[in-house]
Amino acid sequence: MLKSAHFTFQHTTAQMDVERAVAELRFGRPVILKDNKRQLAVLALDCVTPAIYDLFSQAVDDQHRLFLSAPRAARLGVSSGAGIAVPLSGVGFEDASRLSYALDVEPPQEWCQPDQIMASAAELARNALLLPAMIYAEIEPDEPRFGACLRLDADALGQASEARQIFEIIARTQVPLKEIGDAEFVVFRGGLAQRDQIAIVVGKPDTNSPVPVRIHSSCITGDLFGSLKCDCGDQLCNGLAHLKEAGGGVLLYLDQEGRGTGIGSKMRAYGYQHLGIDTIDADAELGFEADHRRYEAAVAMLGLLSISRTVLFTNNPTKISALRAGGIHVEERKPVFGDITAENMNYLRTKMLRADHMLDIETLTRPC
Ligand SMILES: Nc1nc2c(ncn2[C@@H]2O[C@H](COP(=O)(O)OP(=O)(O)OP(=O)(O)O)[C@@H](O)[C@H]2O)c(=O)[nH]1
Ligand SMILES: [Zn+2]
C-alpha cells in the first residue's frame, strides 16, 4: 500500500526512463543519450520514414552517422568488436537502409569506431526489439531543435538492468489442457518492460527434490501455427508431456520470440533464410548476435515458485549455464526433441554445429 503522505509523481526510475526511451524510438523520435561529456541525438533506423530521416539530417547539419553492430559490420566485411560508425553526410535514406540490412552491399568506404555511448543505444534497440542500426549525431546541450526529445543518461541502462530480475506473481489458476489434463498457469509481472510471463505447472512438483523444468522461448510460427521451419511446436508439446511423465514439473514460457529479436526481425531473417543463408548468418545480416535471449526472468520465476534444484529439459547449453549463473542448480539435463523434417533439417543442423546444441549429429548430418 502506498503511503500517500510521502508519495509523489516527481521521480521516475531508471527502468521507467529506459522504457520511455524505447517507446520514443519505436515512434520514430530521437532520444538524447548523454554522459558527463557529451550528448548524442539517436534515432532507430528501423522506425524512421524518409521524411524523418531528412528532418534529422537537416537538424544536425548533415553531420549524422550510422551505427552498425559488430555482426552487421562483419557481414559487410569489416571486423570491429564495438561495431562501426559510418558518416552519412550526403547519404540518403535508401542507401543508409541498404547499408543497415540489405544483402550483398559494398562495404562502406569510410568508417570509424563508434562513440562509446552507442553501446547504450544498441542496448536500447535490443530492448525495443528493433534492428541495432542507429542514426546519430552529437548535439549541443541547449540545441532547441531537440528540445522536446526525451533525455536519457547512458548509465540508466545499467541501473535499469537490475529490474530484469524483479517479478511478482499476479495470478495463478487452473487451466485444463487437451494433451496433459490439469495444469496451473502462473502469471508473473515485472522485468524491465513489465511484460507478463507465464509458467505452467504440471501436477504437484515436490520442490524439496530437483524439479523437472522446461524453459521454452515463444515461437508464434511453430508453437501456434505448426510451422515446419523449426522444432518449437513439437518441443512445446513434448516438453509438457515429459513433465507429466516425470510426475510433475514446470514449463516456463518466456516472451522471447525469435531468440529475443522479436517477430518482425525473425520474419525478415526467414526472408534471408529462403535465399539459402543459415539462421545465424541471417540474423547477423540484420545486425543481431547468434542469440539475444536472457534468462534473468527464468531465474526469478523459479525463485518465486520456490524451485532451486532442477532437472532441465533442453538441448541448449546456454540455458544450463544461464540458470547456473543465476544460482539455480541444474542437477541433470534431459533432451527434448521434435520431429526432424526436410524443412527444419538445416535449421537444426546449424543449431548443432554453430550453437553447440546437443542434437543427434548422425541423424542431422545425414544428407536428406
Ligand atoms: N531469430 C530466429 N529465431 C528463431 C528462428 N527459428 C526459431 N527461432 C526462435 O528460437 C527460439 C527457440 O526457442 P527454444 O525452443 O526455447 O530454444 P532452443 O534454443 O531451441 O533450446 P531447446 O529447445 O531448449 O533445446 C524461439 O524464440 C523461436 O522463436 C530463426 O530462424 N531465427
Ligand atoms: Zn520455432
Spell out which residues have Cβ within 5 A of ligand 2, the ion: 219, 222, 230, 232
| Beta carbons within 8 Å of 25's beta carbon, 6+ residues apart | 31, 42, 43, 44, 47, 124, 125, 128, 130
Instruction: Show the DSSP H helices in the chain as ranges.
Output: 14-26, 50-59, 70-75, 93-101, 117-127, 155-161, 225, 232-245, 257-260, 263-273, 279-285, 296-304, 317-325, 345-355, 361-365
Assess whether 252 and 134 both reside in one domain. Answer: no
Catalytic residue among 291, 309, 333, 360: 291
Assess whether 228 and 85 both reside in one domain. Answer: no
293 given a catalytic annotation: yes
Which of the listed residues 160, 183, 216 is the one where a domain comes to its end? 160
Tens-level pLDDT at each residue, the chain (368 residues):
445 556 677 788 999 999 999 999 999 999 999 998 899 999 999 999 999 999 999 999 999 999 999 999 999 999 999 999 999 999 999 999 999 999 999 999 999 999 999 999 999 999 999 999 999 999 998 889 999 999 999 999 999 988 889 999 999 999 999 999 999 999 999 998 888 999 999 999 999 999 999 999 999 999 999 999 999 999 999 999 999 999 999 999 999 999 999 999 999 999 999 999 999 999 999 999 999 999 999 999 999 999 999 999 999 999 999 999 999 999 999 999 998 888 998 999 999 999 999 988 666 666 65
Residue whose C-alpha is closest to residue 66's, from 77, 56, 75? 56
Assess whether 92 and 177 both reside in one domain. Answer: no
Could you tell me the CATH number of the domain that includes residue 186?
3.40.50.10990
CA of 217, nearest ligand number: 1
pLDDT of residue 240: 98
Question: CA distances (Å), 285 to each of 49, 115, 229, 245, 267, in order?
Answer: 21, 22, 19, 41, 13
Assess whether 138 and 206 both reside in one domain. Answer: no
- In terms of residue numbers, what domain contains 324? 166-256+293-365
Which of the listed residues 119, 142, 160 is the one where a domain comes to its end? 160
368 marked ligand binding residue: no
CA-CA distance, 212 to 233, in Å (whole number)? 19
8 in a domain, yes or no?
no
Q: Which atom of ligand 1 is nearest to the CA of 254?
A: 16
Joined together, the cell numbers standing for residue 153 give 543518461
DSSP 8-state assignment for residue 104: S
Assess whether 199 and 325 both reside in one domain. Answer: yes
Pocket of ligand 1 (CB under 6 A): 216-219, 230, 232, 235, 256-259, 261, 266, 269, 279, 283, 314-316, 319, 357
* CA of 231 relative to ligand 2 center, distance in Å: 6
Nearest CA to ligand 1 atom 15: 232
Could you tell me the CATH number of the domain that includes residue 80?
3.90.870.10
Whether the predicted interface score ipTM is above 0.95: yes
230 marked ligand binding residue: yes
Residue whose C-alpha is closest to residue 279's, from 226, 349, 222? 349
278 given a catalytic annotation: no
DSSP state letters, 307-319: --EEEEE-S-HHH
Q: 169 exposed, middle or buried (CB, 10 Å; 0-12, 13-18, 19+)? A: middle
Q: How many domains does the chain have?
A: 2
Assess whether 143 and 193 both reside in one domain. Answer: no
CB atoms closer than 10 angstroms to residue 360: 14
Assess whether 188 and 205 both reside in one domain. Answer: yes
Which of the listed residues 160, 187, 216 is the one where a domain comes to its end? 160
Assess whether 128 and 193 both reside in one domain. Answer: no
